Structure 1
Amino acid sequence: MIKRTLFFGNPAYLSTKNEQLVVNYPEKEKGEKSIPIEDLGYVVLENPQITITNGLLMKLVQNKTAVITCDQQHLPCSFLQPLVGHSEQTARFRHQLNASVPLKKNLWQQTVTAKIENQAAHFLQQGKNALRLKRYAKEVRSGDLGNEEALAAAFYFQNLFDLDGFSRNQKGVAPNNLLNYGYAILRAIAARALVSSGLLPSVGIFHSNKYNAFCLADDVMEPYRPFVDSVVYDIVETGCNLEEFTTNMKSQLLCIPTLDVVLDGKLSPLMNAMSRTTASLYECFKGSRRKIVYPEFA
């Protein structure tokens, strides 16, 4: 089942009744609205004047709905996740924490290869020469010792957008603002799927920054990034003012969880594909399989 994403950009009072999320607005002319909680996958809270009850938060967490809050720049800055995401959580933690260094290096090699291959496929979709990216993908070694990921990313972003002065930098010029927003949504999707698979989002296979609580989410989301890039590319091609982050732009980026991706030769919503990816990652930690299931950009 495809879960819905709700975005709240205006002041609102959010509560719950009869297993529904109930929305009330300060404006009297706007009537009360309700949505079944079981249908929700993500709730994005942007406006600082939103009030949400603890009862609703409890039900959202029990439904494994990701609650995402935004900062003053309107970028997602926090993610609410359940303490218990899987019935076998403790055993799964042990498998993850006991993963050997060679295994993690192999998993990172698979991840980087899949990411660069998807970047190359995105290039081809936009009519760009992808031969260099394909070469980088073939040269990835265990643990990515040659740092092919960084080399590929530098070439990829230097040539993706036909914009003067653009370089990939979180605080750089637009469309970095759109990329940051899309990647933040993708990160929440990855974290939600990891928790549901009984894994620790903070213990990565490559990322290991002690100040990062989502190292593993940052690992598994890498091959999914080109899907976000594709959405941003389409927005850029419209010729709109990229510095003005409009509601329409946000609505397009908030559709990322429901994007169709190809997984094992079949179309699947991105959020479902991510769950398949994290489930296969656990099986790799457990030793029952050798490859992570990642989508192919098509």
Structure 2
Amino acid sequence: MSYHIVNIDSPRCSISCKQGQLTCVSEDGRRQQAPLEDVAAIVITSFSAQLHSHLLMEAAKHGVALVICERFQPVSLLLPANRSTDTLLTKAALTLEKKKVATLWRKTIDAKCANQASLAEHLNPNHAKLETLRKRANSKAPGKESTCARYYWGIYADALNLTDFKRSRDAGGANDLLNFGYAILLSLILQKLFACGLDPTLGISHEVRERSTPLAYDLMEPFRPCVDWRVARWITEEAAPDDYRVDGRFRRYVTDFTLERIGYLGIEMDFRNCLESVVRSFRQAVLSGQTRHYKPWTPSNSKWAG
């Protein structure tokens, strides 16, 4: 497949194909082009985009997928008839050895725990429980994810002066802010999975439920602290005391974490490109059957953005 994933997020634009060039013209007349033969997928998050029928036909001929989103959540996936599914990739995912699946999940959790320890140290470097969290994050103990979470959320709450905070989807308060940020992160992961030809229903740990996307839940885990960091800054720098409303101002603020630059494998890039690189590394690991190709993100070679 071609390499580039093109994201189109102009509020209003016209998208077409002329002489083999993917062309996007924004409302202010600004024109951007890219050779369609170099494009693997087009992700459209624009609030109002006009799609020319010629683009749909040319995209199909070149094997290009179109991911159409509403409020950043993928709602439609347009694939060429000969690419309705990536047969080799799907077969590889379905037949991957259980031991290798377990290794992929262990690498994911190791990265998540390391990222939590890193952010906890950044937020509260003198906390009494920080050293314990570090040791747990670096251990190979089974079930360390839940243990690290307990210490991590305690340090997080203390750093932000969150009284009686308990991390839970339905607990309200600061949890509402975190839940919204995670929803944005999930949408971005889904965009990249669809664009790279990975079936999000074929996960490596999360359970399959009706209309669920386990692989997206799996691969977003190491990136959750990026949302936690953005929410922490909102609480300490922007919000009024004890104001946990998910209003328009907060939604605009938290969504901007996707534009921040972070380090990945020694290269500084914006968050969305980092996300894509991780998804591509996972794809390569599944397709080749070699788990060493999968490289989850950790901030060990960078600093927390902002």
TM over 0.5, yes or no?
yes
The answer (yes or no) to whether the contact 1:85–1:197 under 8 Å persists in 2 is no
* Aligned residue in 2 for 1:158: 154
**Structure 1 CA distance, aligned partners of 2:249 and 2:166?**
24
Q: 1:278 to 1:65 in 2, by over 3 A?
A: same
**Structure 2 CA distance, aligned partners of 1:85 and 1:196?**
16
What secondary structure does 1:81 align onto? strand
Q: CA deviation at 1:84?
A: 6.0
What secondary structure does 1:255 align onto? helix
Q: 1:180 to 1:35 in 2, by over 3 A?
A: farther
Q: CA deviation at 1:34?
A: 6.1
Per-residue Cα deviation, 1:81-118 (whole angstroms, up to 9, x for no partner): 34469968211111111111111111111100100000
Percent of aligned positions that are identical = 20
**Structure 1 CA distance, aligned partners of 2:297 and 2:154?**
24
- From 288, 292, 295, the counterpart of 2:294: 292
Q: 1:255 to 1:38 in 2, by over 3 A?
A: farther
* Aligned residue in 2 for 1:131: 131
**Structure 2 CA distance, aligned partners of 1:289 and 1:165?**
41
- From 115, 120, 123, the counterpart of 1:118: 115
Q: 1:79 to 1:123 in 2, by over 3 A?
A: farther
Structure 2, unpaired ranges of 5+: 17-22, 35-41
The answer (yes or no) to whether the contact 1:96–1:282 under 8 Å persists in 2 is no
**Structure 1 CA distance, aligned partners of 2:82 and 2:255?**
26
More moved, 99-108 vs 256-265: 256-265
* Aligned residue in 1 for 2:256: 255
Per-residue Cα deviation, 1:159-187 (whole angstroms, up to 9, x for no partner): 21321132222222232222112111111
**Structure 1 CA distance, aligned partners of 2:244 and 2:10?**
21
Q: 1:37 to 1:188 in 2, by over 3 A?
A: farther
Q: CA deviation at 1:33?
A: 5.1
* Aligned residue in 1 for 2:89: 92
The answer (yes or no) to whether the contact 2:74–2:191 under 8 Å persists in 1 is no
**Structure 2 CA distance, aligned partners of 1:255 and 1:86?**
37
Q: 1:80 to 1:234 in 2, by over 3 A?
A: farther
How many pairs align?
A: 267
What secondary structure does 1:244 align onto? coil
Q: 1:65 to 1:54 in 2, by over 3 A?
A: closer
